[in-house]
Structure 1
């Protein structure tokens, strides 16, 4: 944005196709980006510092570079930020694909255009890319820890409000698997539902009767509950806060009749120990609810008019 206050909409067609292919809703992502920009530019304001210090015809090029090793995600969203601020006057090149493993110092994106536009877009672009790359990097660490086992890492619904689709996309970029997106695409019977229904089997059967075509997973806290659910025909079971020894026994009892998910108090240090019990999935809320941002930086080189 080189002095005006309107964002350039709609987004470029190539970015729209890319977001759609990534399983994201283009309109929702644009709304996220616009809200992010409006935090810096409320009510049609401008970047006062850039307006005062940078000539209107000044141009610059710059690079997004990784300042640590990890997995990048959200670079397409960052490109969208620059497109909405600068329109055709801003060009993004040399962008590495989301999901790429990078080393410290690697250039992940290059941007050229009016200097005012680049600096106006910089923080919002970095906020998206740094956060989503943090999610992808955290997920990849779990994927690496589980390598050679049958277990796969799952995300949860413990996401930032309004950012679930983007955070779950970043989990996929890191090699993880998405759990249910919301409360209606899969039933998840947990302890409070069990109490309300009078037991794990009554709760399972109530969901199956009400929504016969809906996948249903039930949380258990002991092996008796597991046996009862297997007898009732439940094929997705969550093992809540069980020790590795108990999980190993649960895998033996189940004998392939249901998929088993380990959850509760899991850490990266314990990941492989849990995976070696034979469970199918390990769910990790920390992938999204307490992730450390990935250190990305943008350095501009003024090139003149």
Structure 2
């Protein structure tokens, strides 16, 4: 999966943030005009994200760069993923921004891919989606990373999905009334209802929500929810949410969840990128 989620303005801003007044060290050493070459390689297996943006950072800085392994690729340890060449000034200017960006985004992509693999090993049709708990201001980057890992966003924000929380229901007469109101107001949208207990499941099932988002339920609870849904509202999908991670994704899939809703990839450990810069 590769798509352009950045703009030239965002590339310029990233470079300006790190070197707003030039590279003091490289310029003081009079190395700016020397020929240089840079390579990026993974120190451990990783699903890549951000390599194309890294290339654009080097090109904008004034170097030439080539992507050798694209976003979405599972790159083995030691594989070179990007090469850049030109003069040392642009190479050093873009180096750390490009490296760090690839590390953060590839860390998210790698954990996402691992969760997807674990869940689909036992339930091939299960969907893995991520919450809107992205770092404010970094949504585009983080969504690109989870997509590179094979997931999709559950909610990009408040403006495009219907999710009836218990906090909403506190203002309503009953869940069924809320579902009916949402369907009248936005008939083209699916209605997702968050539930936290089996009693809440029983209360909402007669209204046949499109999706039950089961918050912080155990795999055992999800299995019981799936049983009740199959018997009373077979068109409703069961989504496990809250605390879903690599360690329990397979258990939730076995329990009968149709969807896994997770925030775990957003807090993934960054991947480790090895950079080598040498005179050309």
Give TM-score scaled by structure 2 length.
0.91
- 2:206 maps to which residue? 231
Q: Could you say if the C-alpha distance between residues 23 and 226 of structure 1 is closer, same or farther in structure 2, counting changes exceeding 3 Å?
A: farther
Residue among 269, 274, 279 paired with 1:292: 269
> CA offsets, 1:148-170, max 9 Å, x none?
31433211101011211221111
Q: Would the alpha carbon gap of residues 36 and 73 (structure 1) be closer, same or farther in structure 2, given more than 3 Å must change?
A: same
Identify the match of residue 83 of structure 1 among 59, 67, 75.
59
1:206 aligns with 2:184: no
Mapping 1:253-268, distance limit 5 Å: 253-255=228-230, 256-268=234-246
The answer to whether the 8 A contact 1:230-1:257 is kept is no
**Whole-angstrom distance in 2 between the partners of 1:112 and 1:252:** 60
Distance in 2, matches of 1:228 and 1:286, equals 30
2: distance between equivalents of 1:172 and 1:82? 24
| 2:51–2:67 Cα contact (<8 Å) kept | no
Contact 2:240 2:260 in 1 (8 A): yes
Deviation at 1:177, TM superposition (A): 2.2
| C-alpha RMSD of matched pairs (Å) | 1.9
2-side partners of 1:23 and 1:91: how far apart?
19
Equivalent residue for 1:9? none
In the TM superposition, 1:28-43 aligns within 5 A as 30-42=8-20
Q: Say which is worse superposed, 111-120 or 255-264, in terms of deviation.
A: 255-264
- Gap runs ≥5 in structure 1: 1-17
Aligned partner (choices 72, 81, 92) of residue 99 of structure 1: 72
Contact 2:52–2:67, Cα closer than 8 Å, also in 1: no
- Which deviations, in whole Å up to 9, do the C-alpha atoms of 1:92-112 show, x marking residues without a partner? 125211111122211111111
> Secondary structure of the residue that 2:90 maps to in structure 1?
helix
- Specify whether residues 170 and 252 from structure 1 end up closer, same or farther in structure 2 by C-alpha distance, changes over 3 A only: same
Q: Which whole-Å CA distance do the structure 2 matches of 1:82 and 1:156 have between them?
A: 32
Q: Does 1:48 align with 2:21?
A: no
Distance in 2 (CA, whole Å) between partners of 1:169 and 1:198 is 40
**1:279 maps to which of 257, 264, 273:** 257
CA distance in 2, matches of 1:48, 1:170: 32
Residue 220 (structure 2) aligns with: 245
Kindly indicate whether the alpha-carbon contact (under 8 Å) linking 1:219 and 1:237 is maintained by their aligned counterparts in 2.
yes
Partner residue of 2:38 out of 33, 49, 62: 62
TM-score (norm 1): 0.84
**Structure 2 counterparts to residues 105-144 of structure 1, below 5 A:** 105-144=78-117
Conserved 8 A contact 1:200-1:225: no
**1:54 touches 1:115 (CA, 8 Å); kept in 2?**
no
Q: Residues 91 and 237 (structure 1 numbering): CA distance in 2 closer, same or farther, change over 3 Å?
A: same
C-alpha separation in 2, matches of 1:241 and 1:225: 13
User: Is the CA contact (8 Å cut-off) linking 1:263 and 1:282 kept in structure 2?
Assistant: yes
Contact 1:151-1:278 at 8 Å conserved across structures: no
